[in-house]
């Protein structure tokens, strides 16, 4: 309102005191049980299953998973690096060993496509920030390729060049919704639910909340604490008196 009156209407209101900024009410996230996660993943196929497995196994946001590049994966250390996550921060999180066979097969296929693209002159990918100018050759290197590339190159909005980009989110979102319905999960399930489930299941298994905070990339532990409210046994392991009768 202050901006409207001062910069649009040209009638500054002056100092306004005693105004409290409205806050969004906190909503508890949708969290699946381990059995439900397994059932939904079992209904997925191919690349979509691998993406969803990483979202759950590593606690990634959907865009973080789709933006992964080959050099972000470190199977030897069992970790992956998220570049420029929410807030522009990098972080390291776990790379589950259970996805390694799937990941190896997937990368073998993508490597063959990449080598063909090199021959065709269409292997260049979009690079973050000024890297494309500073290290122009990096755009065609294998390490900079997206783990989940789009099937066809498209125009880079920053450079105007034809570049390879990562897979779009809409196909994954649709596939997860369809898989949840097929698995008989009657709650709204989106790819982000896998991240919520990762955090909750880590806490259930006794992980320290600070560790979970670091893996999720939360700047404030209070954001991570929301998951303590959806644990199976409550915030402090409270048992209902009815269960004691």
The active-site residue, picked from 49, 56, 61, 201, is 61
Is residue 61 flagged as an active site residue? yes
- C-alpha 243/C-alpha 192 separation (Å) is 33
For residue 189, which of 2, 81, 89, 44 has the smallest C-alpha distance?
A: 44
Two tokens, residue 242: 């009815």
3-class SS of residue 41: helix
The active-site residue, picked from 106, 195, 196, 201, is 195
> What angle, rounded to 10 degrees, do the helices at 209-216 and 191-204 form?
160
Is residue 91 flagged as an active site residue? no
Q: Token match 């269960």: residue? A: 243
Is residue 151 flagged as an active site residue? no
Per residue, the 3-state secondary structure of 97-141, as one string, reads: HHHHHHHHHHHHHHHHHHHHHHHHCCCCECCCCCHHHHCHHHHHC
103 near 143, Cβ under 8 Å? no
3-class SS of residue 43: coil
Is residue 187 flagged as an active site residue? no
Q: Dump strand ranges (E) for the chain.
A: 73-74, 79-82, 91-94, 154-155, 162-163
111 near 130, Cβ under 8 Å? no
The active-site residue, picked from 71, 83, 86, 113, is 86
Two tokens, residue 228: 């303590």
First-to-last C-alpha distance (Å) of the chain: 57
The active-site residue, picked from 71, 83, 177, 192, is 192
Give the residue numbers annotated as catalytic, written as ranges.
61, 86, 192, 195, 218, 227
């Amino acid at each position: 309102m202050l901006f409207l009156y001062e910069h649009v209407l040209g009638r500054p209101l002056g100092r306004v005191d005693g105004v409290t900024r409205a806050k969004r009410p906190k909503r508890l996230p949708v969290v699946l049980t381990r059995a439900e996660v397994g059932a939904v993943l079992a209904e997925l196929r191919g690349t979509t299953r691998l993406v969803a497995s990483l979202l759950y196994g590593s606690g990634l946001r959907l865009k973080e998973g789709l933006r992964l590049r080959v050099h972000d994966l470190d199977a030897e250390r069992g970790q992956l690096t998220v570049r420029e996550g929410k807030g522009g921060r990098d972080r390291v999180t776990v790379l589950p060993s259970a996805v390694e066979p799937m990941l190896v097969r997937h990368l073998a296929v993508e490597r063959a496509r990449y080598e063909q693209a090199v021959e065709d002159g269409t292997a260049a990918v979009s690079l973050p920030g000024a890297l494309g100018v500073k290290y122009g050759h990096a755009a065609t290197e294998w390490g900079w390729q997206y783990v989940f590339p789009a099937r066809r190159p498209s125009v880079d909005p920053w450079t105007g060049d034809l570049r390879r980009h990562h897979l779009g989110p809409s196909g994954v979102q649709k596939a997860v919704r369809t898989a949840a319905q097929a698995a008989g999960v009657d709650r709204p399930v989106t790819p982000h639910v896998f991240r919520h489930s990762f955090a909750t299941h880590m806490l259930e298994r006794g992980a320290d909340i600070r560790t979970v905070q670091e893996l999720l990339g939360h700047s404030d532990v209070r954001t991570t604490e929301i998951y303590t409210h959806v644990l199976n046994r409550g915030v402090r392991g409270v048992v209902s008196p009815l269960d004691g009768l």
